[in-house]
């Protein structure tokens, strides 16, 4: 069964709607900036892509707000946008066949961090009574189900940086088998607490600050890349059977046609060419297409030394002689790495890039690494590119490689 994308919702560093985020990505406007909070002075690299101007009170009533981590606030806002966009008109029986599939790598880490700071740093025996409800990974999915009255499967996926790709893929599987009438699928993340950011620094995967231009600190595939930059936000898609969407005259943004999942078992943090290539091939197989039919690629493209060269080799392994002629976009240079939510944001940007016939830019790529020698759409969007089918890759610590294939509507 075909699966249509009928709703898009975004709260991100690039903007508070799908349209705004896409416009910023298309223009190459980076949302990465230096952090001015006093506590962030303890960071070796105090840069991140933050969601600015997010007015929680506009989206959520005050009593509920007290129980929501920033991660859940983003999720609720993005899901409400997506449902308003889709206007699915669910009947009561259909609500029982409507599910929520959410990816998050760190859940309500800000609330947990605050609780630890109160308990250990301030030596207080009293922490917020809702800390558990705010910190648990399944809180965003639970609140989305409550908000929209969806009583089908309510599932949370936590596979680090591929979490929301897995969430979208697993929702697609249920819908394609005819098990559901609708799904909200996507991801959310709010990892910009001091403890979390110091932990990421300790892994030595975080970019050094480009003092001349902090906004360009993340440089995927560049020779002088130094690592990733953390970001926050949420992105949600409403998925439904194509027949249902067409019958009700819905605007269809695009279609999910494939999903590949393959786990590296060599090392918990070191990426592997074979695992990434296997996930791409699995996605193509499930989409029932071959490599010659892919018009563009959304790369994982974190800007780390190891990932970008390995991903380049994996693309070559799958696409062979065509690899160098496929436009490849790495938008983390602009919105940072939203960890478990990144795949969903990149899915939204990918779907809109197909609709608008534009290959999004990989910014801050002044000189490519010799090991990264493909067409990364460097430094400016490429307009007028017909993209019918797009492959989007997400690779994660723990080895869970997830790849989605999208097709343009029509």
CA distance 42 to 197: 10
Mean pLDDT of 73-101: 97
- Work out the pLDDT band at 117, boundaries 50, 70, 90: confident
pLDDT at 122: 82
CA distance 229 to 324: 27
pLDDT of 57 over the 70 cut: no
Spatial strand order in the sheet of 154-157? 154-157, 98-103, 182-189, 233-241, 3-11, 254-263, 400-408, 389-394, 296-298, 328-329
- Work out the pLDDT band at 39, boundaries 50, 70, 90: low
Contact present, 197 and 191 (Cβ < 8 Å): yes
Mean pLDDT of 19-23: 98
pLDDT of 307 over the 80 cut: yes
* Angle at alpha carbon of residue 180, lines to 82 and 257, rounded to 5°: 70
**Catalytic-role residue among 16, 137, 253, 300:** 300
CA distance 363 to 90: 41
Mean pLDDT of 179-198: 96
Mean pLDDT of 326-349: 98
pLDDT of 236 over the 90 cut: yes
pLDDT at 33: 95
pLDDT of 200 over the 90 cut: yes
pLDDT at 121: 83
pLDDT of 352 over the 70 cut: yes
pLDDT at 177: 98
**Catalytic-role residue among 161, 218, 335, 364:** 161
Active site (annotated) includes residue 364: no
Mean pLDDT of all residues in the chain? 95
pLDDT at 61: 80
Contact present, 381 and 253 (Cβ < 8 Å): no
pLDDT at 268: 87
Give percent of the chain above pLDDT 70: 99
Mean pLDDT of 173-190: 98
In the structure encoding, which two tokens stand for residue 226, read together?
């130094």
pLDDT digits (tens, 9 = 90+) for 254-293: 999 999 999 998 888 889 999 999 999 999 999 999 999 9
pLDDT at 219: 98
| Paired strand residues for 382 | 359
CA distance 329 to 320: 18
Active site (annotated) includes residue 253: no
CA distance 410 to 28: 28
Mean pLDDT of 199-223: 95
Mean pLDDT of 197-225: 95
Mean pLDDT of 142-153: 97
**Catalytic-role residue among 137, 253, 337, 364:** 337
Q: Which of 110-124, 166-180, 236-250, 281-295 has the lowest mean pLDDT?
A: 110-124
> What domains, with CATH codes, occur in the chain?
3-247 (3.40.47.10), 256-408 (3.40.47.10)
Closest-CA residue to 286 (of 120, 381, 402, 372): 402
Active site (annotated) includes residue 267: no
DSSP H or E stretch at residue 390: strand 389-394
Mean pLDDT of 72-83: 97
């Amino acid at each position: 069964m075909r699966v249509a994308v009928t709703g898009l919702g975004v709260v991100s560093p690039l903007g508070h709607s799908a349209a705004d985020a896409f416009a910023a990505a298309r223009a190459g406007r980076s949302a990465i900036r230096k952090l001015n909070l006093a506590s962030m002075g303890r960071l070796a690299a105090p840069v991140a892509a933050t969601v600015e101007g997010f007015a929680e009170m506009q989206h959520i009533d005050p009593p509920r707000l007290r129980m929501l981590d920033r991660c859940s606030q983003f999720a609720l806002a993005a899901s409400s946008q997506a449902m308003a966009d889709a206007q699915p008109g669910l009947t009561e029986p259909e609500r029982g066949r409507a599910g929520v599939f959410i990816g998050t790598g760190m859940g309500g880490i800000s609330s947990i961090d605050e609780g630890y700071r109160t308990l250990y740093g301030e030596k207080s025996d009293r922490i917020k009574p809702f800390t558990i409800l705010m910190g648990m990974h399944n809180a965003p999915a639970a609140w989305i189900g409550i908000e929209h009255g969806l009583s089908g499967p309510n599932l949370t996926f936590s596979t680090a940086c591929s979490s929301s790709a897995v969430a979208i893929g697993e929702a697609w599987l249920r819908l394609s088998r005819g098990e559901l009438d609708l799904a909200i699928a996507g991801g959310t993340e709010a990892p910009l607490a001091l403890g979390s950011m110091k932990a990421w620094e300790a892994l030595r995967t975080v970019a050094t600050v480009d003092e001349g231009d902090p906004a360009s600190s993340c440089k995927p595939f560049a020779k002088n890349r130094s690592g990733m930059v953390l970001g926050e936000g949420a992105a949600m898609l409403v998925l439904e059977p194509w027949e249902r969407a067409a019958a009700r005259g819905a605007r269809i943004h695009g279609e999910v046609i494939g999903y590949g999942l393959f786990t590296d078992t060599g090392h918990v943090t070191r990426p592997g060419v074979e695992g990434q290539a296997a996930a791409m091939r699995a996605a193509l197989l499930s989409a029932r297409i071959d490599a010659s039919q892919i018009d563009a690629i959304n790369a994982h493209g974190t800007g780390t030394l190891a990932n970008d060269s390995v991903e380049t080799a994996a693309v070559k392994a799958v696409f062979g002689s065509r690899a160098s002629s496929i436009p490849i976009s790495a938008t983390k240079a602009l919105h940072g790495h939203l960890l478990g939510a990144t795949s969903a944001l990149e899915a939204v940007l990918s779907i809109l890039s197909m609709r608008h016939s534009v290959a999004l830019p990989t910014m801050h790529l002044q000189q490519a690494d010799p090991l990264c020698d493909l067409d990364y759409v460097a430094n400016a969007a490429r307009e007028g590119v017909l993209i019918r089918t797009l492959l989007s890759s997400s690779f994660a610590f723990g080895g869970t490689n997830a790849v989605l294939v999208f097709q343009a509507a029509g």
